[in-house]
Amino acid sequence: MSISETAERLGLHRVGARAALIPYLRETWERREFITTMARYRMSAQNQENRLGAFWLLLRPTLNAAIYGLIFGVLQGNHRGDDYPAKVVIGVFLFGFFSACFSQGAKAITGNRPLVQSLAFPRVALPLAVVIEQFYTLLLSLIVMFIIVVILGHPPDIRWLLMVPLLVIYLLFNTGVALITARLTVHFRDLTQILPFVSRLLFYTSGVLFDVTSLFKEHPWVVEVYNWHPLYQVLTIARSSLMTHIPYDLNFWYYLSAWGVGTAVVGFVFFWRAEERYGRD
Amino acid sequence: MDATETRRPVVMVDELHVEYKVYASGKAVSPSAKALRGPRGIRTVHALKGISFTAYENESIGVIGSNGSGKSTLMRAMVGLTPPSQGAVYATSRPNMLGVGAALLPDLSGDRNIVLGGLALGFKRSEIASLRDEIIEFSELQDFIDLPMRTYSSGMQARLKFAIAASKQHEILIIDEALSVGDKRFRERSEARIREIRDAAGTIFLVSHSMTSIRSTCNRTIWLDKGVLVMDGETEEVVTAYEESRIPR
């Protein structure tokens, strides 16, 4: 009898073997307290050094929106479309969640090497904690965003509730994105250098700072392309729900749900398949 | 031989080879060193050359050897972090390294770090609440537990980390040079704690350069040299042979 058979008979398993998908999901679920606590504690540890502490979580997107709104508002002159400030505020605040998941998710494994190398837990806990930390930050900053939107002349109404399902879909989408970038940087370390540029490129092209329909009035095919862009769809639905109703294709909801669920599932499986690889370098 | 048959094996290491591929840089020291290099300056380091042994429950095994003998590589292969190039490691449950430090956040209080470290080790929140006092008592940080961990001295931090990590009843625990922290009194108490873990149906691997620690905690010792298992047996016998080999002639 070979050693591996003897080992199997005595109830010993090969060390380092990856769990099957369902047990892996169950293990991850059992670690939910670890994931959410890590997210909360990291968030509170992060701003401890600054005098204003957690206020920076609110100040940062507000200042960003003010600067981008001012510069791009002036640059675009008459092309900027109606109600530009409110659009920029919603765009900048919501896009921040995506870009944080995209770039922080990429560091979830590579930036926690000592942790990955010393303790056993499903590695997916690390990118998930990043996403949840960023989601808490988003929820906090949304309070400020709502206040600014009201000040800019859009009182709350019943359609604001559409933000709830929208945020759930957006959370799923960004979870998938973070899981994918988390694994990719493990294989290609140089991506940490490239990803900030990709994130910035997406920021400038996703309709955060401009109104796609009025800017590309003469090029309907561009608008058509944008209608398949998940980030643009999120911003469009959010703007339409929070501001005076801007009509949009209700199919956006279906596309976006498919994007959200699809990205989350693909991201999870993609991340899980390399489970044995993490921490080995 | 009969005695070993009835004991339950918990770790089986079978003909374990580990090779590292290193991107060698700099100039070759000599022409012969150049010949060792593969294409593009990649050099293969054969860190473990066919290690085999079986560890049983309630054993505490010392791992000794000079620097670079492959002790840490063996431990990393046993927790599944370094892939074997040949052979395999089998275990009843995944062996754990004693160490929770990487999960803690220096900006947070000792108290919150106990919660975070406990969750990282796999405890439920309710379990941590009941372990909390014990951990604080063991680390002797009663007066400082509300202060941020970064304000602790390195000895205090090490005590807290050890107290959290050792609060868990590990089935298979690997301790890599962790006992060298703290003052003499704390060291003795941590060795006692490790014997406690061993006695409660755990198996322990202790990597150390301190033959005193090995003698007082281990009942079996493995001696590695240049990736080869030199000797495996009773601690007293192996340590004595090891010490004799180290006497300069």
Q: What is the pLDDT of residue A266?
A: 97
- Which pLDDT score is estimated for A269? 96
Least confident of A10-24, B1-15, B120-134: B1-15
> What is the model's pLDDT at position A207?
84
A118 and B97 within 8 Å at the Cβ level: the answer is yes
Residues of chain A contacting B112 with CB distance shorter than 8 Å: 41
- Determine the residue of chain B that is closest to A7 in CA distance: B90
Q: Assess whether pLDDT exceeds 90 at residue B159.
A: no
More confident residue, A222 or B74: B74
> What's the pLDDT at B24?
65
Angstroms from B246 CA to nearest CA on chain A = 31
Residue A16: list chain B partners with CB under 8 A: 79-81, 83, 89
Chain B: residue whose CA lies nearest to A42: B105
Contact B82 A119 (CB under 8 A): no
Of A98, A64, A88, the residue nearest A243 (C-alpha):
A88
Q: Give yes or no for residue B2 having a pLDDT over 50.
A: no
CB atoms within 10 A of CB B178: 21
Residues from chain B that touch A118, judged by Cβ atoms under 8 A, are 97, 99-103
- The Cα A58–Cα A42 span in angstroms is 17
**pLDDT for position A250:** 84
Q: How do residues B46-96 score in pLDDT, each as one tens digit?
A: 889 999 999 998 899 999 998 888 898 899 888 887 878 888 899 988 888
What is the Cβ-side half-sphere exposure of residue A36, based on CA atoms within 13 angstroms?
7
d(CA A204, CA A206): 6
B153 vs A77 pLDDT, higher one? B153
What value does the mean pLDDT of chain B take?
Answer: 83
Q: Are A35 and A132 in contact (CB under 8 A)?
A: yes
pLDDT digits (tens, 9 = 90+) for A157-171: 888 999 999 999 999
Over residues A131-158, the mean pLDDT reads: 92
CA dihedral A90, A92, A93, A96 (to 10 degrees): 150
More confident residue, A268 or B76: A268
Contact A65, A89 (CB under 8 A): yes
CB atoms near residue A82 (< 10 Å): 11
Residue B108 CA to residue B113 CA, distance in Å, equals 7
| Contact residues on chain A for B79, CB-CB shorter than 8 A | 15-16, 120
CA distance A269 to chain B (A): 21
A38 touches chain B (CB under 8 A): yes
- Of all residues in chain B, the percent with pLDDT exceeding 90 is 28
Give the pLDDT mean for B129-149.
90
Q: Which of A44, A119, A132 to mutate to test the interface with B (most CBs of B within 10 A)?
A: A119
pLDDT value of residue B242: 92
Task: Considering only the beta carbons, identify the residue of A3, A4, A15 that sits closest to B95.
Answer: A15
A34-43, A83-92, A132-141, B170-179: lowest mean pLDDT where?
A: B170-179
- The better pLDDT of the pair A33, B249 is held by A33
Residue B1: pLDDT band with limits 50, 70, 90: very low
Asked whether the predicted pLDDT for residue A2 surpasses 90, the reply is no
Least confident of A54-58, A202-206, B55-59: A54-58
The residue among B240, B243, B228, B177 whose CA lies nearest residue B52 is B228
Distance CA A202, CA A195 (A): 10
Best mutation site among A24, A28, A34, A38 for testing chain B: the one with the most B CBs within 10 Å?
A: A34
SS3 content of chain A, % helix, strand, coil (to 5): 75, 0, 25
Residue A263 has a pLDDT of 97
**Any chain B CB within 8 A of the CB of A115?**
yes
Nearest residue of chain B to residue A281 (CA atoms): B82
Cβ atoms A4, B14 nearer than 8 A: yes
Predicted pLDDT of residue A168: 96
Q: What integer is the mean pLDDT of B24-32?
A: 54
pLDDT on residue A81 = 74
Contact A12 B82 (CB under 8 A): no
Residues from chain A that touch B8, judged by Cβ atoms under 8 A, are 10
Q: How confident is the model at residue A214 (pLDDT cuts 50, 70, 90)?
A: confident
Using the beta-carbon criterion (under 8 Å), do B120 and A3 form an inter-chain contact?
Answer: no
Note the pLDDT of residue A213. Answer: 77
- How high is the pLDDT of residue A29? 95
Q: Is A199 exposed, middle or buried (0-12, 13-18, 19+ CB in 10 A)?
A: middle
Shortest distance, CA A199 to any CA of chain B (angstroms):
28
Of B41 and B161, more confident: B161
pLDDT (mean) for A33-39:
94
DSSP B155-176: HHHHHHHHHHHTTS--SEEEEE
